[in-house]
C-alpha cells in the first residue's frame, strides 16, 4: 500500500489534471491509475496495460509531468508499473519504465521452430549459415483459449479445439479443419490449440505456419536442391498448424509435397490443424485426394458472432485494457458491427482514438459519428438485433416480450414490424428472420410483411409508426 504522503501527492496531481481534461477522459484514463511509491522525488504509478501506458505517454504526459513537478519540484520524475497479461492468466509487473522511453519496451525477438537434432536436415526457419538455433512454434502468445470468447457461433470449433489440445493426435478430430469468413477467429483458435499443447505436453513439437509461408519455403528448398530436407523437417512435427490452406489452390507441386507430409503425420498419429475461408467441399483448385483427407477428421465452421457474443467480446477487450466506457456505447457498437470480430475491435480502437485525440468524451453521439465513417453502407448492413432493439424501444416493449408467444395486439404489431424491417433492410432469409423473432416459421414472417403493407395503406396511425421507425433506423 502507498504511504499517506505518496497518496496525498498523487491526489493533488489528480486535482490539477481533473481541471484540464473532460470528465469522461478523466474517468477513462486517470481513475484506473494507482500510485505505488515515492522515492527520491521519483513517483511510481501503476497502469493496467501497455496500451494504457502508451496512450498516457502519447496524449497526457505533458499534463501529468506539470502536475508532478508542481507538487515535487523541477527534479521530479515519473516511472510506471505496467501489468502485462500472460497465457497463464497472471499479471506480472514490468517495473521502472521511465516516462518517454517507450523504445525500451520491445517484444523479445521471435526465435525460430525446434532444435533439429539431425544436423544434415536443414530447418527452413533457420537463417542460412547459422547452426543449431533453438526456435519456437511461431505461436502468438496472446491468442489463448482464455481470451477467445465462446458463443453459439463458435462453440463446436472451440470444444473440438480444446479436446485436441488435451490429446493431440489421439482424438477423432484429425485433421481438425476450421473454416469461416475473415475476422471470425480461425487464427486465434488455431494458435490457442498450439499454446495449450505446448503447456500440456512441453516435449511435443508444435509449429504454426501460414500456407503462403509454407509455399515460399518449398520454392526456396527446390532452388537450393534441399527438397528432402524440407519434407523431413515437416514430417518431424508433432502438431502442425497450417493457416489459410486455401492459398495452396492451383499450386500443384506444393499440394503434392503437402500430400506426402500430411500422410506421414496422420499415419504416425501426429495432429494436423488446418484453417480456411471455405469448407472443403467449396474449395476450388485443390486436388481431390487432399480434399478427401481434409474430411477425415472434423470440419467445423465459425459463424458471425451473435449479439451476446459481440457484447462479451467488447466487454472483455475493454476490461483487458483497463478502460471505462458507458454501457450504452458498448451496446451501440455491438448492434452496429455484425460481420466479424476484427471489425468489432477495430471500431472500439477507432472510438478510443477519436475520444483521446480530439479531447472528447466517449458518448453515444461520438460513437454514432465515428461508426458512420467506419462502417460503409450502414443502412444495408443493419442487423436484425438492432432492428428489434429500435422497434421495441419505440413501443417501450422488452425484446423478450416481443419474442414471446403472447397474442396481445400491440406486441403482435411490434413483432410484425420487426419482421417487416428485417426483410426490407437485411439480406437474411425469411426462415432466419423468423428464428430471430421467437422461432417463428417463414410463413409467419411472410404473413407479417403482408399485414404491415396492408395496414400502412389503411391505418394512418400505423403508417406513422412505420415512418418514425424507418427514420430511426436510417439515421442511426
Specify the pLDDT at position 380. 43
Specify the pLDDT at position 374. 63
Is residue 273 predicted with pLDDT exceeding 90?
yes
What mean pLDDT is predicted for residues 193-204? 91
What mean pLDDT is predicted for residues 192-215? 91
Domain 155-301: which CATH number of 3.40.50.1860, 3.20.20.140, 3.40.5.50, 3.40.50.300: 3.40.50.300
Query: Worst-scoring range by mean pLDDT, 101-105, 140-144, 268-272, 287-291?
Result: 101-105
Distances (CA, A) of 32 to 14, 36, 95, 319, 323: 12, 13, 17, 11, 8
384-475 is classed CATH 1.10.1750.10 = yes
Specify the pLDDT at position 476. 53
Q: How confident is the model at residue 208 (pLDDT cuts 50, 70, 90)?
A: very high
What mean pLDDT is predicted for residues 409-434? 88
Specify the pLDDT at position 92. 55
What mean pLDDT is predicted for residues 353-370? 77
Specify the pLDDT at position 239. 93
* 8 Å CB contact between 79 and 64: no
SS3 content of the chain, % helix, strand, coil (to 5): 55, 10, 35
Q: How confident is the model at residue 105 (pLDDT cuts 50, 70, 90)?
A: very low
Q: How confident is the model at residue 127 (pLDDT cuts 50, 70, 90)?
A: very low
Query: Worst-scoring range by mean pLDDT, 28-42, 349-363, 395-409?
Result: 349-363
What mean pLDDT is predicted for residues 120-140? 58
Specify the pLDDT at position 112. 33
Residues 6+ apart with CB under 8 A from 292: none
Highest mean pLDDT among 58-72, 317-331, 354-368: 58-72
Copy the grid coordinates of residue 362. Answer: 466517449
Specify the pLDDT at position 113. 37
Is residue 390 predicted with pLDDT exceeding 90?
no
Q: How confident is the model at residue 318 (pLDDT cuts 50, 70, 90)?
A: confident
The strand ranges marked E within 130-252 are 176-179, 206-210, 239-243
- 354: Cα separation from own chain's centroid: 20
Q: How confident is the model at residue 125 (pLDDT cuts 50, 70, 90)?
A: low
Please tell me what DSSP assigns to residue 27: H
Taking each helix axis from N to C terminus, what angle separates 211-223 and 252-267, rounded to the nearest 10 degrees? 110
Residue whose entry in the numeric block shows the C-alpha cell 490452406: 245
What mean pLDDT is predicted for residues 455-470? 87
Ranges in the chain annotated CATH 3.40.50.300: 155-301
Q: What is the DSSP string of 362-381?
A: --HHHHHHHHHHHSSSTTTT
Query: Worst-scoring range by mean pLDDT, 21-25, 386-390, 416-420?
Result: 21-25
Ranges in the chain annotated CATH 1.10.8.60: 307-374
What mean pLDDT is predicted for residues 407-435? 87
Exposure on the CB side of residue 388, measured as CA atoms within 13 A: 21
Is residue 264 predicted with pLDDT exceeding 80?
yes
Specify the pLDDT at position 166. 92
* 8 Å CB contact between 335 and 386: yes
Q: How confident is the model at residue 115 (pLDDT cuts 50, 70, 90)?
A: very low
Q: pLDDT > 90: what percent of the chain?
A: 14
Is residue 301 predicted with pLDDT exceeding 90?
no
Regarding the domain delimited by 307-374, which CATH topology (the fold level of the hierarchy) does it fall under?
Helicase, Ruva Protein; domain 3 (1.10.8)
Ranges in the chain annotated CATH 3.30.300.180: 4-104
Q: Which residue has the higher pLDDT, 374 or 257?
A: 257
Burial class (CB in 10 A: 0-12, 13-18, 19+), 375: middle
Alpha helices, DSSP H only, in 19-139?
23-29, 50-59, 61-72
Residues 6+ apart with CB under 8 A from 258: 214, 242, 248, 290
Residue whose entry in the numeric block shows the C-alpha cell 519496451: 105
What mean pLDDT is predicted for residues 460-473? 86
What mean pLDDT is predicted for residues 35-64? 84
Burial class (CB in 10 A: 0-12, 13-18, 19+), 209: buried
Query: Worst-scoring range by mean pLDDT, 20-29, 237-246, 386-395, 400-409?
Result: 20-29
Q: pLDDT > 70: what percent of the chain?
A: 85
Q: How confident is the model at residue 129 (pLDDT cuts 50, 70, 90)?
A: very low
Tally of CB atoms within 10 A around 16 = 15
How many Å apart are CA 320 and CA 317, to the nearest integer?
Answer: 5
The continuous run of DSSP H or E covering 298 comes out as strand 298-301
Ranges in the chain annotated CATH 1.10.1750.10: 384-475
Q: How confident is the model at residue 122 (pLDDT cuts 50, 70, 90)?
A: low
Q: Which residue, 28, 27, 29, 33, is CA-closest to 11?
A: 33
Specify the pLDDT at position 109. 32
Is residue 86 predicted with pLDDT exceeding 70?
no
Q: Which residue has the higher pLDDT, 283 or 320?
A: 283
- 237: Cα separation from own chain's centroid: 28
How many Å apart are CA 443 and CA 434, to the nearest integer?
Answer: 9
* 8 Å CB contact between 445 and 423: yes
* 8 Å CB contact between 124 and 214: no
Q: Is beta strand 298-301 parallel, antiparallel or unpaired with respect to 42-47?
A: unpaired
How many Å apart are CA 342 and CA 348, to the nearest integer?
Answer: 10
Span 11-41, pLDDT tens digits: 998 988 888 888 877 888 888 899 988 888 8
Considering the domain 4-104 in this protein, what is its CATH number? 3.30.300.180
Cis peptide before 425 (omega within 30 of 0): no
Q: How confident is the model at residue 475 (pLDDT cuts 50, 70, 90)?
A: low
Tally of CB atoms within 10 A around 222 = 14
Q: Which residue has the higher pLDDT, 141 or 55?
A: 141
Q: How confident is the model at residue 219 (pLDDT cuts 50, 70, 90)?
A: confident
Specify the pLDDT at position 313. 83
How many Å apart are CA 74 and CA 256, to the nearest integer?
Answer: 69
Amino acid at each position: 500500500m502507498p504511504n499517506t504522503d505518496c497518496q496525498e501527492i498523487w491526489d493533488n496531481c489528480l486535482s490539477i489534471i481533473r481541471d484540464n481534461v473532460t470528465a469522461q477522459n478523466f474517468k477513462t484514463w486517470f481513475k484506473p491509475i494507482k500510485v505505488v511509491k515515492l522515492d527520491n522525488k521519483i513517483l511510481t504509478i501503476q497502469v493496467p496495460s501497455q496500451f494504457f501506458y502508451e496512450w498516457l505517454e502519447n496524449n497526457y504526459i505533458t499534463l501529468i509531468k506539470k502536475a508532478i513537478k508542481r507538487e515535487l519540484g523541477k527534479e521530479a520524475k515519473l516511472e510506471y508499473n505496467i501489468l502485462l497479461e500472460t497465457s497463464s492468466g497472471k499479471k506480472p509487473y514490468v517495473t521502472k519504465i521511465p516516462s518517454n522511453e517507450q523504445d525500451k519496451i520491445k517484444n523479445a525477438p521471435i526465435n525460430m521452430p525446434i532444435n533439429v537434432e539431425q544436423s544434415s536436415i536443414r530447418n527452413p526457419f533457420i537463417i542460412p549459415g547459422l547452426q543449431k538455433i533453438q526456435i519456437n512454434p511461431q505461436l502468438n502468445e496472446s491468442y489463448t483459449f482464455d481470451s477467445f470468447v465462446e458463443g453459439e457461433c463458435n462453440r463446436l470449433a472451440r470444444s473440438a479445439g480444446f479436446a485436441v489440445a488435451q490429446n493431440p493426435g489421439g482424438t477423432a478430430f484429425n485433421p481438425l479443419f476450421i473454416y469461416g469468413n475473415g475476422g471470425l477467429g480461425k487464427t486465434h483458435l488455431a494458435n490457442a490449440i498450439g499454446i495449450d499443447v505446448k503447456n500440456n505436453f512441453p516435449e511435443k513439437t508444435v509449429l504454426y505456419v501460414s500456407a503462403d509461408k509454407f509455399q515460399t519455403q518449398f520454392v526456396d528448398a527446390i532452388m537450393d536442391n534441399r527438397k528432402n530436407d524440407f519434407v523431413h523437417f515437416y514430417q518431424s512435427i508433432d502438431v502442425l498448424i497450417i493457416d489459410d490452406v486455401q492459398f495452396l489452390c492451383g499450386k500443384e507441386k506444393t499440394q503434392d509435397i503437402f500430400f506426402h507430409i500430411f500422410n506421414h503425420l496422420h499415419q504416425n498419429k501426429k495432429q494436423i490443424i488446418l484453417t480456411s475461408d471455405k469448407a472443403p467441399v467449396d474449395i476450388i483448385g485443390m486436388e481431390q485426394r487432399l480434399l478427401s483427407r481434409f474430411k477425415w477428421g472434423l470440419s467445423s465452421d465459425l459463424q458471425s458472432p451473435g449479439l451476446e457474443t459481440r457484447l462479451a467480446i467488447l466487454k472483455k477487450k475493454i476490461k483487458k485494457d483497463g478502460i471505462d466506457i458507458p454501457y450504452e456505447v458498448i451496446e451501440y457498437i455491438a448492434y452496429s458491427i455484425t460481420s466479424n470480430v476484427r471489425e468489432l475491435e477495430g471500431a472500439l480502437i477507432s472510438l478510443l482514438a477519436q475520444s483521446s485525440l480530439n479531447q472528447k468524451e466517449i458518448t453515444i453521439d461520438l460513437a454514432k459519428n465515428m461508426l458512420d465513417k467506419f462502417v460503409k453502407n450502414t443502412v444495408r448492413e443493419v442487423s436484425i438485433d438492432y432492428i428489434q432493439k429500435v422497434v421495441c424501444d419505440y413501443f417501450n416493449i422488452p425484446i423478450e416480450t416481443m419474442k414471446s408467444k403472447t397474442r396481445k395486439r400491440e406486441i403482435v404489431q411490434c413483432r410484425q414490424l420487426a419482421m417487416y424491417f428485417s426483410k426490407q433492410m437485411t439480406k437474411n432469409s425469411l426462415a432466419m428472420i423468423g428464428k430471430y423473432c421467437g422461432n417463428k416459421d417463414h410463413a409467419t414472417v411472410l404473413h407479417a410483411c403482408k399485414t404491415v403493407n396492408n395496414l400502412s395503406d389503411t391505418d394512418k396511425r400505423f403508417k406513422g409508426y412505420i415512418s418514425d421507425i424507418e427514420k430511426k433506423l436510417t439515421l442511426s
